[in-house]
Amino acid sequence: MVALNEPGGASVGYEKKGYARGLILGLTMAETMLLLVFCLLLVAGAIVAKKKAELETALERVSRSEAVIQQLKQENKNLLAQVAELMERFTGHKVPDEEWRKLVLAKKAIEQIEQKGLSADEAVQLAEATVAVRDNNLSADDVRKLVSADQRATEAERKLAEAEKELAETTRQPKDLPPIINLSEAKGYSFEVSSAELKPAFKAKLEGAIAEQIADIVAKYDVDVVEVIGHTDEQRLSRQSNMDFVLGRVLSGDESVSEMEPGDNAGLGLARAISVASVLKKIPAFDHLNILPMSGGQLILPDDRLTDGAQSGDAPERRRIEIRVRKSKQKLAAEGHHEGN
């Protein structure tokens, strides 16, 4: 038998001790792993138990919720039955559930519309505009901007139309204006001296060629006012005027033109204009016209300048009747309204 203190014996003893220690260590690690697995199983069991409890609680809640839902459904069914019974009692026929739901939804929709400040009729009228807004993905701000832009455009169009009208008036060429008919004594259109009485030849021309000329101008320019303006020269009249007393009766036809006795050139010009206007008013074709007598007296020269008073003698070219035509304010207003539409 070899002693342990011998070189060979010492090696064998040392190996036996190492084996014993390894065996003990291996058993200890196995036990530790088993303990660890056991602990994990305990934890897992606790978790599973907790989740199971939570699941049971959730299932209980679901069961209670289903019961509540079933109860609400039954109550709703009962209410619908009561409503249907009431509707049948008042209307005489049954109202299907779907139709009743539509009525309820319609009532809610009308309430929402009225909350926005609109009536149901207004909402129907705005339906087309609402569809256009929806189809173009427009917001309320977009619509407000469009309305504001449209209002500005409308105002701009109105101002443009006014500017164009004003421009047309200011740039109108003379050929666009009705001609002025000038009947001067120098051309044979004369009155009795210092009187408003027409000489026979002048009266005949008024009723003939001059009336035809006026009619042509009236038709061409679509006018309804004829102005008859009497002009005189600067020879003074020295007599008492009775114009204030007889003028109204002459205009109404109760007095003859010959009854007028003007006391100055302004009165003489007016009297002669009245004399010519009286003849024109008797022409049936002029019944629709407003014929206005006026006086220029001795103030206006034939070239449309004011006199400077230097021509005080006989001037037959200044003793004249001018006939102008125009549209009345009423006709202009009516035409402007028609064009605006």
pLDDT value for 280: 95
Q: Which amino acid is at 162?
A: E
The pLDDT tens digits of the residues spanning 95-126 come to: 566 665 666 677 777 777 778 777 777 777 76
pLDDT greater than 60 at residue 6:
no
Global pTM reads 0.49
The pLDDT tens digits of the residues spanning 300-328 come to: 999 989 988 887 788 999 999 999 999 99
Would you state the structure tokens that stand for residue 301, as one six-digit string? 């020269």
Would you state the structure tokens that stand for residue 105, as one six-digit string? 């939804």
Would you state the structure tokens that stand for residue 72, as one six-digit string? 């609400």
C-alpha closest to that of 298 among 279, 317, 277, 274: 317
Q: How many CB atoms lie within 10 A of CB 307?
A: 16
Q: How many CB atoms lie within 10 A of CB 230?
A: 29
Residues in CB range of 211: below 8 A, 6 or more apart: 280, 283, 285, 286
Average pLDDT, the chain: 81
Q: Are 277 and 286 in contact (CB under 8 A)?
A: no
Q: Are 227 and 292 in contact (CB under 8 A)?
A: yes
Between residues 55 and 167, which one has the greater pLDDT? 55
Q: How many CB atoms lie within 10 A of CB 253?
A: 10
The pLDDT tens digits of the residues spanning 202-240 come to: 999 999 999 999 999 999 999 999 999 999 999 888 889
C-alpha 177/C-alpha 211 separation (Å) is 19
Within 13 A of 119's CA, how many CA atoms are on the CB side?
A: 3
Q: Taking the domains of the chain in order of start, what are their residue ranges?
A: 70-125, 128-170, 178-339
Residue 229's H or E segment, with its range, is: strand 225-231
Please compute the mean of the pLDDT values over residues 256-274 and round it to a whole number.
Answer: 91
Please compute the mean of the pLDDT values over residues 138-142 and round it to a whole number.
Answer: 77
pLDDT value for 21: 56
Degrees to nearest 5, angle at CA 267 with 266 and 269: 65
pLDDT value for 109: 73
pLDDT greater than 70 at residue 255:
yes
Please compute the mean of the pLDDT values over residues 289-310 and round it to a whole number.
Answer: 91
3-state secondary structure of 196: coil
How far does the chain reach from its first CA to its final CA, in angstroms? 142
pLDDT value for 170: 62
pLDDT value for 20: 57
Architecture of domain 178-339: 2-Layer Sandwich (3.30)
The pLDDT tens digits of the residues spanning 196-208 come to: 899 999 999 999 9
